[in-house]
Amino acid sequence: MDLSLLFAGTAGSVPTPKRGLPAILLRAGGERILFDCGEGTQHQLLRSVGLPDLDAIFITHLHLDHWLGLPGMIKSFDMRDRDSQLEIFGPPGFMALFQQVIRPIIGRTKYRLDVGDLDPHEEIGYDGFVIQGFPVKHRVEAFGYAMIEDDRPGRFDAQRATELGVTPGPDFGRLQRGETVDGVTPDQVMGEGRPGRRIVYSGDTMPCQTTEVYAAGADVLIHEATFLEDERARARETGHSTAAQAARLALDAKVKLLALTHLSTRYFPREIRDEARATFENTVVPRDFDAIEVPFPERGEPQLVKYEPEAS
């Protein structure tokens, strides 16, 4: 399964000419899932990869900068005659917000909207993976989200199977599907199972244990870094993190790659990056429209792919 992330918006609280409000597009096989939908998200997607027929949207919390892009996106889908269902989830309180604020603005849609509050640690299943919400520490009730891929079978040892008398061809496939063939059992020719990939998005939060637990061994941790250490007290007051705190969490969780988002206009991106790298070297600060490719571990490490606009 191809797996990647597109950073459609990396600013914190207010947009800038170069950074939109929070929005991250997960592309997992044929699924297209959006985390947060700040004001202008559909335009950000149109400027980069086009507006995909999203399968689901997960909102981290109810602060305006994380969901105000929903009404326009929902209506755009309606005007281009979408007919497939769209799922939209958030932490407790999101459904009431949708019904009281968003629904009166958008009116009816020709396609079905499935809107709901998630319970802490609830899983939503997709083809080959789940999205699981977990509580984090912010000024309001807020969730982070973990994309957890199904474990994969171990490697098939074709040479060993042949030595045991199995004829190459369909019988090899039966063994790999877990069937016994001519007395040869799968455990004789299959290696140990391989854990699936994991991507974790913190949303807006102070450093917290739940994020570290979900991020343990993750391929990619996307963590907010609204402040630097010189304003650590301010970060705590507002329910945010410093770059150094995010880096310490990534180090403790033993993640492969840390991507910092929710950037404040107080700082240059390189200041955020340098503070984090002093603790966790494998840190990146994506720009809008940058992507992270997440291959299977045997094919390489997660890599930042910088956006290169097409020449006009």
Q: Which residues are annotated as a binding site?
A: 61, 63, 65-66, 138, 204, 262
Q: Considering only CA atoms, which of 21, 28, 15, 9 is closest in space to residue 220?
A: 28
Known catalytic residues? Answer: 65
Query: Checking DSSP bridges between strand 220-224 and strand 257-261, what pairing results, if any?
Result: parallel
Contact 88, 82 (CB under 8 A): no
Strands (E), the chain: 3-9, 23-28, 31-35, 56-58, 86-90, 113-117, 123-126, 129-136, 142-149, 198-201, 220-224, 257-261, 283-284, 291-293, 303-305
Contacts of 226 (CB under 8 A, 6+ apart): 12, 204, 235, 238, 240, 241, 242, 262, 263, 264
Rounded CA-CA distance 40/143 in Å is: 22
Residues of 280-310 as b/e, b for ≥16 C-beta within 10 angstroms?
bebbbbbebbbbbbbeeeeeeebebeeeeee
Rounded CA-CA distance 185/161 in Å is: 10
Contacts of 272 (CB under 8 A, 6+ apart): 225, 228, 243, 260, 263, 285
Output the known binding site for Zn(2+).
61, 63, 65-66, 138, 204, 262
Rounded CA-CA distance 78/110 in Å is: 6
